[in-house]
Structure 1
Amino acid sequence: MSSYTLIIILAVNCICTLAFLVWGLVIVPNTKIRQHIPGGRKRYLLLSAMFLLCPAAGFACYITALAAGRIFFRKDADLSGVMFSKDRAETFARADEERELNITSFEEAVAVSDYRSLRTLMLNVLRGDVSQSLAAISLALNSADSETSHYAATALRDELGRFRDTVRRIYIEIGKRDENCAKYCCMAIDYMNTVLEQKVLAGMEQKTYTDMLDEIGAVLYAADKSQFTPEYYGMISMRLTEMKEYDRAERWCVVGNSEYPDSLIPYKCMLKLYYEARDREKFFETMESLRRSQITIDKETLELIRVFN
């Protein structure tokens, strides 16, 4: 091949490469063709580099690949079996059988001498919802294994610190007494009861937050009585009963019973209250009132009555 022919080939190759580059970087972005061409600017830059480095052969390979794709692989997708729906599919994860077989009560596990297994158990508990396991975690504070007790102390410190800060912020919002007051009261009662019922706070602090729970209940009752569910009456009265505030607990039980006469929860709370207060007369009065009602008694209530008798 003469040098003159080679120069012509190189010149034509450069012109074609330049045209291809201009078409890819300037013309295509302003048309609808771009959405059908993957790679964007990087694709055209890399192809242009290949065309310059491989004169004629680069274009030949590119055109051959395009032709083969059009002939053999250009086919509309069969979407007859595909469903486009916003409904979420519920998936089921396979159970971890090895872990399930090793489950035991935390109270029993704390007493074991196998510190490695105890640490593994503690880490498994901490991976879950710690706010629901504070009472169990507190048992590990007295563990002979220093590392396990350190895990427990750290988890309790962080969770109780989060509890105090969250309650403080919600209490400030409740103090504004605006249109969102009832919503924040419900939020506070649910959240505070989760921690208070586990009795992981020191005595004085437990009483302080129980008094706050009682106050928030009064605010909710005044703001929007319709949002005061039977469960809320039960939560507040039980926490007050644990603090031996029997008169205040009884007030909530009586109000709850008057608001929801067909609910078992106020009756259960009164029975537990009079059981703790050792008030035999009121206990049997409540039991008789419950017997005359049409409310179905659950096993817990029957057991309470049996124990008291």
Structure 2
Amino acid sequence: MYWMIYFAYLLISFTALLLIYRKSWQEWLIRLIVVAVLPVAGWLFPLFWPKRITAGSKEAFDDYVRRQQEEHEVRRIGVYKQVERQQELNIIPIEEALLVSEHQTRRKVMIDVLKQDSLNYLEILRRAVSNEDTETSHYAVSAIMETKRKLLLSLQELSVKFENQPDDLQVVGAYAEVLRAYMRSGFLDQRTLLKNQYTYLAVLKQYIMLSDQSEWAYQEKINLEIDLQALGDAEQSAQSYLAQYPDSEEAYLSLIKVYYTMQSHSKLQETLERLRGTSLRLSNHALTVVRFWSEGA
């Protein structure tokens, strides 16, 4: 009977210590020997006490927790900066490699791009198409064609979903995102681009109706209406944007942009006065815009 209890105790201790000290088999082995030689009592040895908290006081424990949190935050920030720096280093060599590296390196860069989201590197890929190394050029063309294929498939799928589920915010948002990426890809002729711009306008309008977080959609819609020279619609959109987000400096700046494009000096000045009369804390960019137009430029 005693051996069965002892065996069960060893099995529980083995499992518990394995979970606690799985990163160091030496520490696990030492503690297992202690609890095996001294059943139950072995768990009370200082060997199992938390480090730096032997005094047991609340102050010591609080100080220990604080230091651990600070060390964790430092490590977290360090890792974040390291990843951020690595991302920057990963982008820069792609452009440089296509210009100065040997052919083998260029080909490797293109293969790496093919494994990633090529949409982020379209401008680089377009330049690589005319590279003197034919294999590098071939990889670039392949990446561009694959990106175009994926975009078209996504557009077709989301177009059907949007038609069937126009009130589904996720579907509308995804469709808007893919349309924006497709229009900025450089794959479209002028006629196709114009068609997609009007589709994008309709999708943005629907997104604004459905979402209470639609600032980006207002900005996209206003800029697109300006590009299409639909200035009356752009003014109406900008006024609706400001009415819905009266504490957003971007709403004021969008309306100023519309009146500048319309060459309506009086309305522009009126909007500036409204902005100056608010309690908004303006960014440097907004302050520059206000000062520029306030000086009568």
With the length of structure 1 as denominator, give the TM-score of the two structures. 0.57
> CA separation in 1, counterparts of 2:90 and 2:156?
39
> CA separation in 1, counterparts of 2:84 and 2:239?
47
Distance 1:238 1:148, change over 3 A: farther
Partner of 1:131: 119
Partner of 2:139: 151
1:11-31 CA-to-partner distances (Å, cap 9, x unmatched) read xxxxxxxxxxxxxxxxxxxxx
Structure showing greater radius of gyration is 1
Partner of 1:167: 155
Cα pair 1:140 1:152 within 8 Å, conserved: yes
Q: What pairs up with 1:47-58 in 2 under 5 angstroms? A: none
Partner of 1:295: 280
Residue from 203, 206, 224 that aligns with 2:193: 206
> CA separation in 1, counterparts of 2:140 and 2:245?
41
Q: Which moved more, 1:213-222 or 1:111-120?
A: 111-120
Confirm or deny that 1:79 pairs with 2:11.
no
Partner of 1:239: 224
> CA separation in 1, counterparts of 2:126 and 2:163?
32
* Superposition CA RMSD, Å: 4.2
With the length of structure 2 as denominator, give the TM-score of the two structures. 0.59
The alpha-carbon deviation at position 246 of structure 1 amounts to: 3.4
The alpha-carbon deviation at position 95 of structure 1 amounts to: 5.9
Residue from 171, 176, 187 that aligns with 2:164: 176
The count of aligned residue pairs is 229
Aligned partner of residue 296 in structure 1, secondary structure: coil
Distance 1:102 1:229, change over 3 A: closer
> CA separation in 1, counterparts of 2:87 and 2:246?
45
The alpha-carbon deviation at position 78 of structure 1 amounts to: 5.0
The alpha-carbon deviation at position 136 of structure 1 amounts to: 3.9
1:159-192 CA-to-partner distances (Å, cap 9, x unmatched) read 22222222222222222256x5333212222332
> CA separation in 2, counterparts of 1:105 and 1:300?
31
> CA separation in 2, counterparts of 1:305 and 1:144?
49
Partner of 2:249: 264
> CA separation in 2, counterparts of 1:100 and 1:248?
40
Distance 1:297 1:255, change over 3 A: same
The alpha-carbon deviation at position 271 of structure 1 amounts to: 3.8
Cα pair 2:119 2:185 within 8 Å, conserved: no
1:217-255 CA-to-partner distances (Å, cap 9, x unmatched) read 233445x3x445111111222233344443433332222
> CA separation in 1, counterparts of 2:234 and 2:194?
13
Distance 1:96 1:173, change over 3 A: closer
Q: What pairs up with 1:205-224 in 2 under 5 angstroms? A: 205-222=192-209, 224=210
Return 5+ residue gaps in structure 2 as ranges: 1-8, 21-71
- Select the structure that is richer in helix: 2
The alpha-carbon deviation at position 105 of structure 1 amounts to: 7.7
Distance 1:290 1:102, change over 3 A: same
Aligned AA (2:217): Y
Give the % identical residues: 18
Return 5+ residue gaps in structure 1 as ranges: 1-73, 84-88
> CA separation in 2, counterparts of 1:281 and 1:124?
54
Partner of 2:240: 255
> CA separation in 2, counterparts of 1:181 and 1:99?
34
Distance 1:269 1:134, change over 3 A: farther
> CA separation in 2, counterparts of 1:304 and 1:126?
42
